[in-house]
Structure 1
Amino acid sequence: MPPRRTRPVANRALAALIEQAGWTHAATARQVNAVAAESGERIHYDRSAVGHWLTGTVPRPEAVHAAVEAFRRRLNRPDLRPAHLGWPDPGVPPPPDDPWRGDPVARLAGLGEDDLLNRRTVLTAGTFTLAALSGLADAGTRGPARRPVGRPGAGDVVRVRAVTASFADLDDRYGGGHARQAVAAYLSREVTPLLANATGRSRPDLFTAAAELSYLAAYMAMDAGANALAQRYYISTVRLADEAGDLVLRATALRSMAVQAAELGHDGEALALADAAASVLGGRGPGRTLAWITGMRAETHAAAGTRWDALNLLRSTETQLERADSAPESEWTGNYRRESLEHQIGLTLTRLGDHATAARHFAASMRARRPVETRTRALIGLRTAHAYLRAGDPEQAAVTALLLRDDVPLISSARVGDELRRLRAGWQRHRSNPLVAEADLAMAGRS
């Protein structure tokens, strides 16, 4: 029930939409905060703020656009505008047009420049949109031929991949928030001019190399909490992979888009994306990549409530991984190891509500991580701690968190920060326990 009012409702349009959505004031605030977070904005409205909106207060621009998107999704009304909520248009630039259309190289160049030079605009001009995922049905057609101006060759491909590997190493060590602008600068100013001039036998390899770097930019943006930006980079990755005729990389991007959708709570879209990734390869491709995609399908089927499908897919994932005949390091997009599978099992079991077993698999994944994987070890470690907590073992949660106290301060990752905030919120009622109190103090200020 909404709280009793002491001032009359002035914004009847907003009141009507809240009623149609079936939300309380607190739920409305949570939805607005969540949509804003998808675009990298950290806002913290509560039910009292919604009460102020109803009495005539207009929130700041990023909240207006987040609220519009939240109601669009809830009411399935893509036509909604600020005026429908009783607010003036705040004047923020509209979201970019359909990212699946137009010249993919020009779009990538513009995206990189926006990311590099005008981060506030690219973060607030649009949100992570479910509508953009509908473009997958029309994707896969090649763009118009380009007139060659220069002759990029095999040496350019080697250099781009070497730089991508260096940036990927930094991402593994320090998180997606570190060196992101350097990636954007290299992508937009060094790589896209090569694509515009690419011709001949080196062209497909150059587009694949560029798609790999776009994929890394997407992953880093997602890890940094800039999900609207990450979505655009992922779409660019799919389009560049299509230009190169690289089905493995296309499937890889779709699989990671499924991860993004799942982490943002869009379970239906995550399931569709994971299944689409599998459909691209049709059971053919590198064994580790197939296992990586099948594992994601297991998680999304668990989220959809199809328990037996999820468990069967986990068994298939293990079989595919056991049959993989290549070293993990040999497949850039399928670097899938046993510890990766343990993490995927943990995520799937979490979706199925088996937190005690999930914690054991998360712990196995955390212990097996290589020294370079600082961010991943911290992320999975915090998930391990949270699983122990939800399984009723706050002491083991605290012990696990204390193992990470030296790693967490090194990492620039919104995902790690979010996991840590959820963990600390969950164990507050156990702070009388000395171990929990020690862990909470050790992690204070790091979330």
Structure 2
Amino acid sequence: MPPRRTRPVVNRALAAMIEQAGWTHAATAQHVNAVAAESGERMHYDRSAVGHWLTGTVPRPEAVHAVVEAFRRRLNRMELAPADFGWPDPAVAPPADDPWRGDPVARLATLGEDDLLNRRTVLTAGTFTLAALSGLAAVSALSPHRGAGWADGWGRGWGRTDRRAVRPGAGDVARIRGATASFADLDDQFGGGHARAAVAAYLAREVTPLLHEATGRSRPDLFTAAAELSYLAAYMAMDAGAHALAQRYYISAVRLADEAGDLVLRATALRSMAVQAAELGHDGEALTLAEAAASALAGQGPQRTQAWITGMRAEAHAAAGTRWDALSLLRRTEAQLERADSVPESEWTGNYRRESLEHQIGLTLTQLGDHATAARHFAASMNARRPVERRTRTLIGLRAAHAFLRAGEIDRAAATALDLSDDVRLIASARVGEELHRLRTDWQRYRGNPLIARADRLISGASRGPGPRR
């Protein structure tokens, strides 16, 4: 029974929204906290906080955005705004900000600067939104080969007054790709929370000025190289738990790939957006994005890349409850991978090997509830990982441990986690931290097991989380 109210409800608009959602005050707080967490904000609201909102208290700006987004999802009303909840628009809110529109280079430059300077505009007002994903449909009909026309129409004069006389060319492309490879190695070894400021600075201050000067035959390659780096920035932000920021970087990668006419890179970014949506529990959106990635390729492109995307489609179908489609797509993924004749490392967007497939099978079977078989596939993927893939090996290893635990193989779950304890300490990754938290929460009832007790003791507090910028 809810506590007796001592102050009258003042905010009737919020009360009506809560009634429409069918939520209790406690449930409202839980959903707001969950949405905020997607963007790197740690909020700890409870039912009493909601009670205060109803009696006239206005939440801080980042909480207002989280409330609005939570109700948008619940009521499937993407047009909802703070005014619908009886609140003014917070000062930090960007006006009518659609990341799919406007000058993509200027947007990327601003995004990189905001990220570099840790500005609140990108960390709070830029809440991860399903509405931003819906914008994909509005632009999907645009030709990805429209680069020259756009180049003639962007805001002339911005950033050009003191640029060098020599136009960017192949050497700049090589340097950007070399930097991207170096940053990617750091990400693989230490997680997305490490060196993110350096990536943001390089994007905003070295790469985007080149894009404004790009012309002629070098232009598509420059835009592709920039899209690859934006994609890496997105992946690192997602791994660090900054999901709103990651979403914007992924959208930038899609748009830059479109300017370059690079269908494979467009599909790659959409596929990773599907991964992000799936990890946040947005199963319908994950399926839509995975299918959009496949549509971008239309059956073309490297077999290895096609396998990578088909595997994500399998996972998304499993989450959506279409078991037969999921298993059928897994079989197709394996066939596509077997037909791939390229060396994996030779394709930036196609680094999909057998151990990658093992991980995808594990994720798909987890969605289907077959934890025992999933655990073995996760373990196979973990054991085949190279030394440079410390973060990936650790993430998948924790998933293997959790699957063994769910399957009742308690000692093997503990042994798997123990094997990862040293690596966990070196990694700045919110995703690793979250996997670790879920694992430790679920094995508490087995603390009487000596191996579990030892694993819990050694691994507790080991994760560095997303790094000092959070």
TM-score range, shorter chain: over 0.9
Q: Which residue of 2 aligns with 1:157?
A: 173
* CA RMSD between the two structures: 1.8
How does the TM-score come out when normalised to structure 2? 0.91
C-alpha distance in 1 between matches for 2:47 and 2:362: 34
Maintained 8 Å contact 1:95/1:126: no
| 1:324 aligned to which of 323, 337, 340 | 340
Q: Which residue of 2 aligns with 1:46?
A: 46
1:8 deviation in Å?
4.3
Q: Which residue of 2 aligns with 1:127?
A: 127
Q: Which residue of 1 aligns with 2:468?
A: none
Q: Which residue of 2 aligns with 1:211?
A: 227
Maintained 8 Å contact 1:33/1:43: yes
Q: Which residue of 1 aligns with 2:2?
A: 3
How does the TM-score come out when normalised to structure 1? 0.95
Maintained 8 Å contact 2:421/2:462: no
Counterpart mapping for 1:288-437 below 5 A = 288-437=304-453
1:267 deviation in Å?
0.8
Q: Which residue of 2 aligns with 1:222?
A: 238
Partner amino acid, structure 2, of 1:316: R
Partner amino acid, structure 1, of 2:98: D
C-alpha distance in 1 between matches for 2:418 and 2:4: 46
**How many residues in Structure 1 have an aligned counterpart in Structure 2?**
446
1:126 deviation in Å?
1.8
1:145 aligns with 2:145: no
Partner amino acid, structure 1, of 2:331: R
Partner amino acid, structure 2, of 1:204: P
Maintained 8 Å contact 1:150/1:197: no
C-alpha distance in 1 between matches for 2:225 and 2:94: 31
Counterpart mapping for 1:227-266 below 5 A = 227-266=243-282
Q: 1:9 to 1:433 in 2, by over 3 A?
A: farther
1:344-378, Cα deviation, whole Å (9 max, x unpaired)? 00000011111111111111111111000011011
C-alpha distance in 2 between matches for 1:48 and 1:435: 41
C-alpha distance in 1 between matches for 2:369 and 2:71: 29
1:72 deviation in Å?
1.5
1:193 deviation in Å?
0.9
Partner amino acid, structure 2, of 1:145: A
Maintained 8 Å contact 1:38/1:225: yes
SS at match of 1:339: helix
1:48 deviation in Å?
4.0
SS at match of 1:205: helix
Q: 1:95 to 1:397 in 2, by over 3 A?
A: farther
SS at match of 1:218: helix
Maintained 8 Å contact 1:96/1:126: no
C-alpha distance in 1 between matches for 2:250 and 2:79: 25
Q: Which residue of 2 aligns with 1:196?
A: 212
Gaps of 5+ in 1: none
SS at match of 1:176: coil
Maintained 8 Å contact 2:235/2:246: yes
Q: 1:395 to 1:28 in 2, by over 3 A?
A: farther
1:52 deviation in Å?
4.0
1:74 deviation in Å?
1.0
| Overall identity of the aligned pairs, in % | 82
Partner amino acid, structure 2, of 1:181: A
C-alpha distance in 2 between matches for 1:253 and 1:68: 27
C-alpha distance in 2 between matches for 1:426 and 1:86: 40
Partner amino acid, structure 1, of 2:261: G
Partner amino acid, structure 1, of 2:173: V
1:338 deviation in Å?
0.6
Partner amino acid, structure 2, of 1:336: Y
Q: 1:59 to 1:336 in 2, by over 3 A?
A: same
SS at match of 1:403: helix
Maintained 8 Å contact 2:375/2:403: yes
1:6 deviation in Å?
4.8
1:264-299, Cα deviation, whole Å (9 max, x unpaired)? 111111101101111111111111100000000000
C-alpha distance in 1 between matches for 2:4 and 2:416: 46
C-alpha distance in 2 between matches for 1:370 and 1:417: 21
Maintained 8 Å contact 1:95/1:125: no
Judge which range, 346-355 or 82-91, deviates more: 82-91
Counterpart mapping for 1:16-165 below 5 A = 16-94=16-94, 97-137=97-137, 138-139=139-140, 140-141=142-143, 142=146, 144-146=150-152, 150-165=166-181
C-alpha distance in 1 between matches for 2:114 and 2:392: 28
Partner amino acid, structure 1, of 2:176: V
C-alpha distance in 2 between matches for 1:322 and 1:191: 37
1:8-48, Cα deviation, whole Å (9 max, x unpaired)? 45244333222211123332222111111121112222334
Q: 1:437 to 1:306 in 2, by over 3 A?
A: same
Q: 1:60 to 1:395 in 2, by over 3 A?
A: farther
1:86-121, Cα deviation, whole Å (9 max, x unpaired)? 444443233661111111111111111111124332
SS at match of 1:345: helix
Counterpart mapping for 1:182-193 below 5 A = 182-193=198-209
Judge which range, 112-121 or 215-224, deviates more: 112-121
1:57 deviation in Å?
4.1
